[in-house]
Amino acid sequence: MKIFDTPILVTRPYLPSLERYKEGLAEIWQNQWLTNNGPVLQRFQKRLAETLGLPDERLSLFVNGTLALEIVFQAFGLDTPGAEVITTPFTFVATSHALRRVGATPVFADVDPETLCMTPESAERLITERTKAIVPVHVYGHPCDLDGFGRLARKYDLRLIYDAAHAFGVTVDGRSIAEYGDASMFSFHSTKLFHSIEGGLLTFRKPELRTRLEQLKNFAISSETTCEAIGTNAKMNELAALMGECCLDVLPELIAHRKIVYEAYAEVLEGNPKVRLLPKSSTMFGHVIGHNYAYCPVLFDSFEVRERVYAELKRANVFTRRYFYPLLSDFEPYRNTHGRTPPRARRASDCVLTLPTYHGLDPAEARAVALNALEILG
């Protein structure tokens, strides 16, 4: 087994050249404007709109993805007492935490064994008169069944809000995945393919929503003398927006490198019956998908095997992650809040491992990590 001299982490943030960032800092110093809808943020937002092919009025930037979720849930009235929201337990805790923090009750549906995303069929079985919204997650950037969820939301007149934290840069039939649902949240955390140190982006179908979102993230103050609701402080600052701009300069390169790493893993792992690298199919649910290769998840046959590979790779100085284990519904705040644990989500959580992938990762290192995994499997 290859023991790496320096730790191979599951991810590392992309860092632009210091010169590029310093140029931007000089502009910020000149502006003497650090936060509260500053000029760098406004330019970043315009560039994002162009990248996504959306009008400016359908975008809003936030300090992080979690607060972006909380605010869009509030804006859509999910803070109404008794509101239930159907979502997946196979996700990062932030998805459900944001629901609970606005007072909604998450109800956990099951996932598709191929994409590990929640399915519309499983969600439909849980709809009651208390259901107000559906919150599917594009897990690892794999698109959910977008048409299926669209039909479900229309049939029951529910809000459809995608947690697209992992899906920045994903396209569907050549257009951004942001086009789907009532709203989508993209996380710009440093561990993401694309980042602004910390950050979050909401995209939404109706431009009218923008004013409300902008107010809610600024204490719900609408003028010097008016405050109409209970808002919070969730504004992105200028230094974060600058990092976002620097990353946007190289978005195609970031995706291209992740694809090379994914292909290096595929080269070694594909065809081995003991491990399954989740495929990046070019067509999903009848749509042509442009993947962002944000994560490299693999599935093993059992919990025991996954745990062994995870522990032994650590001994080789390779720090994979069990995204997402434990299953969210097993965490203390969510225990006993719903009935049966969705079995396919349970299996995914028990058997999954996300392999290292980031901009500086040499594909030869990825191949060596994969060969180590095969050696552990025996």
**Residues in contact with ligand T4K by the rule CB under 6 A:** 9-13, 64-66, 91-92, 94-95, 137, 163, 165-166, 187, 189-191, 200, 319, 323
User: In this structure, how many other beta carbons lie within 10 angstroms of the beta carbon of residue 80?
Assistant: 12
What is the SS3 assignment for 209?
A: helix
**Cα 263 from Cα 372, distance rounded (Å):** 16
Exposure letters 314-342 (e unless 16+ CB within 10 A, then b) = eebebebbbbbbebbbeeeebeeebeeeb
**Cα 369 from Cα 220, distance rounded (Å):** 49
Smallest distance, ligand T4K to C-beta of residue 202, A: 12
Q: Which is nearer to ligand T4K, 171 or 184 (CB)?
A: 184
**Cα 124 from Cα 224, distance rounded (Å):** 45
The closest of 174, 192, 93 to 137, measured between CA atoms, is 93
Q: Which is nearer to ligand T4K, 37 or 191 (CB)?
A: 191
Q: Which is nearer to ligand T4K, 4 or 33 (CB)?
A: 4
Smallest distance, ligand T4K to C-beta of residue 277, A: 19
- Residues 6 or more apart whose CB falls under 8 angstroms from that of 283 comprise 289
**Cα 43 from Cα 59, distance rounded (Å):** 12
Q: Which is nearer to ligand T4K, 128 or 316 (CB)?
A: 316
Smallest distance, ligand T4K to C-beta of residue 284, A: 18
Nearest residue by C-beta to ligand T4K? 65
**Cα 54 from Cα 269, distance rounded (Å):** 38
Q: Which is nearer to ligand T4K, 12 or 274 (CB)?
A: 12
Q: What is the dihedral of CA 246, 248, 249, 253, to 10 degrees?
A: 120
Smallest distance, ligand T4K to C-beta of residue 96, A: 9
What's the token pair of residue 105?
């009750």
Q: Which is nearer to ligand T4K, 65 or 143 (CB)?
A: 65
- Residues 6 or more apart whose CB falls under 8 angstroms from that of 320 comprise 10, 309, 310, 313, 314, 353, 354, 355, 356
Q: Which is nearer to ligand T4K, 11 or 329 (CB)?
A: 11
Smallest distance, ligand T4K to C-beta of residue 365, A: 15
Q: Which is nearer to ligand T4K, 171 or 196 (CB)?
A: 196
Smallest distance, ligand T4K to C-beta of residue 225, A: 32
Smallest distance, ligand T4K to C-beta of residue 191, A: 5
Smallest distance, ligand T4K to C-beta of residue 370, A: 18
As a whole number of angstroms, the longest Cα–Cα distance in the chain is 69
Smallest distance, ligand T4K to C-beta of residue 10, A: 5
**Cα 377 from Cα 45, distance rounded (Å):** 47
Q: Which is nearer to ligand T4K, 39 or 326 (CB)?
A: 326
User: In this structure, how many other beta carbons lie within 10 angstroms of the beta carbon of residue 84?
Assistant: 20
